[in-house]
């Protein structure tokens, strides 16, 4: 059989083969799109999570700084100011930990399910009591008994 005859011979080429090839190519395309899309979604989730955690940390730090400037020395009673923070970030709960430090107070917002966290530090005059609360509505408080600021569940 010569080469010219082989190339010109159309016998055995059925519509089934054509369809199989088309489905295969389509599957490859869809799989590529899904893989690329999932990677994009993951990076977007990480970015949004980090931004949201920083947002929460900034908000709590800002509230504590304002409370620190609220002339807590002359307060005779405990005072709390409630704030609304999200229950979940990227569909995951998170914890807020406020801890005093020798130089600056640290607000640590941790979404362990996403392996992401944010840390905000600020200077303060009023003492800070160590406190850990889970996500959701929070309250920044001045505890007159302990003479310190703290974060509590709102």
Partner 1 sequence: MVANERGQLLLIGGVAIAIVVFSTILFAHSLAVTDGITTTGSADTIERSADREASVERDLGRLAAETRGDDLDEFEARYENALQNYTETHNRVVGGSGGAYLNATLNESASLGNETSQISPGEIDDPDGGPKPKEWVVAKNVTRIAVFNFTFTKGHDSGKPFNITVTGSNGNWWALEVSLNGTGSPKNKTVTIRDSAPGSDIPVCTSPNSGPDSQDLMVNLITGTCNQGSGFKTFSDVTKPPYTINVSKGQKADGTYRFAAIGTFPSTSYDSGDTEPYPVIPAVDTTYDTPSASYNRTVLVEVDDG
Query: Interface residues with partner 1 (CB under 8 A)?
Result: 14-15, 18-19, 21-23, 25-27, 29-30, 33-34, 37-38, 40-41, 44-45, 48-49, 51-52, 55-56, 59-60, 62-63, 65-67, 69-71, 74-91, 139-140
**Rounded to the nearest whole angstrom, what is the least distance from the CB of residue 24 to partner 1 in the complex?**
10
**Rounded to the nearest whole angstrom, what is the least distance from the CB of residue 40 to partner 1 in the complex?**
8
Q: Using CB atoms within 10 A of its CB, is residue 50 exposed (0-12), middle (13-18) or buried (19+)?
A: middle
Type and span of the H or E element at 41: helix 15-68
Q: What does R_g of the chain's alpha carbons equal in angstroms?
A: 29
**Rounded to the nearest whole angstrom, what is the least distance from the CB of residue 83 to partner 1 in the complex?**
4
33 vs 39: CA distance, rounded Å = 10
**Rounded to the nearest whole angstrom, what is the least distance from the CB of residue 1 to partner 1 in the complex?**
25
Q: Using CB atoms within 10 A of its CB, is residue 45 exposed (0-12), middle (13-18) or buried (19+)?
A: middle
């Amino acid at each position: 059989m010569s080469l010219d005859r082989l190339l010109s011979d159309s016998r055995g080429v059925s519509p089934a083969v054509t369809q199989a090839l088309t489905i295969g190519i389509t599957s490859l395309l869809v799989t590529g799109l899904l893989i690329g899309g999932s990677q994009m979604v993951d990076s977007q989730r990480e970015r949004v999570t980090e931004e949201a955690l920083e947002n929460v940390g900034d908000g709590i730090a800002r509230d504590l700084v304002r409370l620190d400037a609220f002339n807590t020395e002359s307060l005779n009673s405990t005072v709390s100011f409630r704030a609304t923070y999200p229950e979940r970030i990227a569909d995951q709960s998170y914890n807020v930990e406020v801890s005093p430090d020798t130089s600056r107070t640290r607000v640590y917002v941790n979404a362990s399910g996403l392996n992401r966290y944010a840390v905000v530090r600020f200077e303060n005059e009023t003492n800070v009591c160590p406190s850990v609360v889970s996500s959701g509505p929070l309250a920044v408080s001045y505890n007159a008994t302990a003479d310190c600021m703290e974060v509590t569940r709102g």
